[in-house]
Amino acid sequence: MNDSTPSISKVHADAEETTAGNYFISNYPPFHFWDAGTATHLEELLQTPSPSETPLGVYFHIPFCRKRCHFCYFRVYTDRNASEIQRYLDAGIRELERYAQAPFVNGRKPSFVYFGGGTPSYLSVPQLRSLTDRMKALLSWDSVEEVTFEAEPGTLNEAKVMAIRELGVTRLSLGVENFDSHILEINGRAHRADEIQRAFRWARSAGFPQINVDLIAGMVEETDENWRENVRKLIELGPDCVTIYQMEVPYNTGIFKRMKEEGQLVAPVATWNTKREWVGYAFSELEKVGYTVTSGYTAVRDPARTRFVYRDALWQGADLIGAGVASFSHIGGVHFQNAAEIGQYIDRVESAQLPVSRAMATTPEERLIRELILQMKLGRVNAAYFSAKFSEDIRRRFEPQWAELEARCLAQWQGEIFVLTREALLRVDTLLPAFFLPQHQNARYT
Ligand code: SF4
């Protein structure tokens, strides 16, 4: 290993206590390197002809919630009335219209659509019908393979669940987080255990091709016993797909605010080692009843049926238009994020400006690294994919990094495929910064 090659173990301290900061890596290069100046180049890019091959997706952000969870690090609004919400939705449509008319996007048909938040299910059925009708009129859903919709169980009723299915949603993602009402309550979550069971029943009878359940390992007051009970209830429910996150405590969460007030450096949640053990336990219990682990965060009941069009397209460099406050986009190799405050976002759109606050035009090398680290989250990286797409031999390019992972018994090459062990998969986000370019090492993720 040469001097400029970062050591995996040094790059990300494997501190076992959960302290404040971001753990989960969702993009590359780090946001810290995005800037307001680059945003102006976006207008030029939008005027260029559309690429014929690159898949396109649309993300619509709904930033409204019933209450703010103590672990939430998103900008959410819990006090908006119907006319304020309508004004926001109108702005989102106007933003999408701007993209749909631009030469770079015009005529392209999205292959996936994603409603995220916040809480998309906070919207009423008439609001949802109008929103999706207007979206379909701008960018046809004729070629859409997957429509994902995030839902908070307590915001659903039977009629709303049926209506969401009728809009064309194929994948309903229920933000369960924990099956215990006390744990939900002390973590500031709005829903309770009985609402989970009801919502799941309605979703099954509505006939969604896929129902996903989100859980968080390591909520405040989580115990071994409660986690085992969570896994038991999860298996009893039998969703098509399970997503489990390990609790992180970024600086803009209620948990961190309280830590600061109390002068605490360590968050009142389980250690990273315990959280990994909990996710590992859940994965092995799910495997015993036939699920397959498909990434560091997901297990699916039937891999032949359960596809992740959104995730796989993004992790293979698809274009994504993200509409709404603070939304992230990636088109033509340029990352950008919208204004993070709702008033500023709406004002910018209403005055016919792109509401972008920061952006970064990536180099081919940065795009390769981005895809490489995102695909590592699947637990396997195919060298042939990268030589075909980037004309780069990743075996040679990242030789010291692969060697270190092999030396630590965390992974090995199997022919053209680099395969991570389960242990590596459970800590995959800590292994990724070693693949970053030197100038991006140690960047703070915000
Ligand atoms: S429901 Fe989700 S977006 Fe809303 S406050 Fe809770 S964690 Fe944040």
Q: pLDDT per residue over 163-202, tens digit each?
A: 999 999 999 999 999 999 999 999 999 999 999 999 999 9
Pocket test for ligand 1, best of 68, 115, 216, 248 (most atoms within 8 A of CB): 68
Domain membership flag for residue 319: no
Specify whether 258 is located in the same domain as 146: yes
Ligand 1 atom nearest to CA at 188 = 6
**Cα 311 to ligand 1 centroid, rounded to whole Å:** 20
Range of the domain at 1: 1-17+363-446
Residue 204 and residue 155 share a domain: yes
Which protein residue's CA is at the shortest distance from atom 8 of ligand 1? Answer: 72
Q: Separation of 296 CA from ligand 1 center, angstroms?
A: 22
Final residue of a structural domain among 246, 279, 313? 313
Q: Which residue among 71, 76, 342 is best mutated to probe the pocket of ligand 1, counting the most ligand atoms within 8 A of its Cβ?
A: 76
**Same domain for 127 and 246:** yes
Find out whether 95 and 131 touch, Cβ atoms under 8 Å. Answer: no
Give the CATH number of the domain where residue 6 resides: 1.10.10.920
For residue 8, report the distance from its CA to the centre of ligand 1, in Å.
32
Q: Which residues line ligand 1 (CB under 6 A)?
A: 65, 68-69, 72, 74, 76, 117-119, 152, 175
Distance 173 CA to ligand 1 centre (A): 13
CA of 214 to the centre of ligand 1 (A): 12
At 28 the pLDDT is 96
Alpha-carbon torsion 275, 280, 285, 287, what sign? positive
**One domain for residues 171 and 299:** yes
Q: 176: helix, coil or strand?
A: strand
| pLDDT at residue 2 in the model | 37
Q: Residue 287 is encoded by which pair of tokens?
A: 């495997």
| Co-location of 13 and 102 in the same domain | no
pLDDT score of 444: 53
- Tokens for 165, please give them: 């299915």
Instruction: Quote the crossing angle between the two packed helices 158-166 and 125-138, to the nearest 10°.
Output: 10
Tell me how crowded residue 96 is: count the other CB atoms within 10 A of its CB. 22
Rounded to the nearest angstrom, the distance between the alpha carbon of 72 and the centre of ligand 1 is 5
Q: Whose CA is nearest to atom 2 of ligand 1?
A: 118
Whether residues 5 and 46 fall in one domain: no
Q: Determine which residue's CA is closest to atom 6 belonging to ligand 1.
A: 69
- Name the residue of 65, 71, 248 to mutate for ligand 1: max ligand atoms within 8 A of Cβ: 65
Q: Which atom of ligand 1 is nearest to the CA of 117?
A: 3
DSSP assignments along 243-308, one per residue = EEEEP-B-TTSHHHHHHHHTT-SB-SS--HHHHHHHHHHHHHHHHHTT-EE-SSSEEES-TTT---
Per-residue pLDDT at 8: 40
Task: Kindly state whether residue 330 falls inside one of the protein's structural domains.
Answer: no
- 171-177 vs 146-151, strand pairing mode: parallel
Pick the atom of ligand 1 nearest to 71's CA: 7
H or E segment and range at residue 148: strand 146-151
Q: Which of 66, 67, 69 to mutate to test the pocket of ligand 1 (most atoms within 8 A of CB)?
A: 69
Contacts of 261 (CB under 8 A, 6+ apart): none
CB 314 within 8 A of CB 304: no
> Please, are residues 281 and 119 in contact by the beta-carbon 8 Å criterion?
no
Residues 382 and 305 placed together within one structural domain of the fold:
no
User: Low-confidence residues of the chain, pLDDT below 70?
Assistant: 1-15, 443-446
* Residue 218 domain-assigned (yes or no): yes
Q: Is residue 399 part of a domain?
A: yes
Alpha-carbon span 209 to 306, nearest angstrom = 9
Output the residue whose Cα is nearest ligand 1's atom 7.
72
Domain final residue, candidates 251, 281, 313: 313
Return d(Cα 383, Cα 365) in angstroms, integer.
15
Query: For 206-235, how does the pLDDT look when each residue is reduced to its tens digit (9 = 90+)?
Result: 999 999 999 999 999 999 999 999 999 999
Q: Are residues 9 and 91 in the same domain?
A: no
| Domain contains 328 | no
Mutate to test the pocket of ligand 1, among 66, 70, 72 (most ligand atoms within 8 A of CB): 72
For residue 342, the model assigns a pLDDT of 98
In a domain, 143, yes or no: yes
- Choosing from 278, 313, 348, the residue where a domain stops is 313
Asked if residues 6 and 323 have their Cβ atoms less than 8 Å apart, the reply is no
H-assigned helices in 167-242: 181-186, 193-206, 224-237
The confidence score (pLDDT) of residue 3 equals 38
- 260 Cβ contact partners less than 8 Å away, ≥ 6 residues apart: none
- The domain that holds 67 is classified in CATH as 3.80.30.20
User: Do residues 245 and 118 both lie within one domain?
Assistant: yes
Residue 444 in any domain: the answer is yes
In a domain, 23, yes or no: no
Residue 89 and residue 147 in one domain: yes
Look at residue 441 in the predicted model and tell me its pLDDT. Answer: 87
Distance (Å) from CA 411 to ligand 1 centroid: 35
240 and 136 in one domain? yes
How far, in Å, is the centroid of ligand 1 from the Cα of 74?
7
Q: How many domains does the chain have?
A: 2
Quick one: 381 and 309 in the same domain? Answer: no
User: Which pLDDT value is given to residue 5?
Assistant: 42
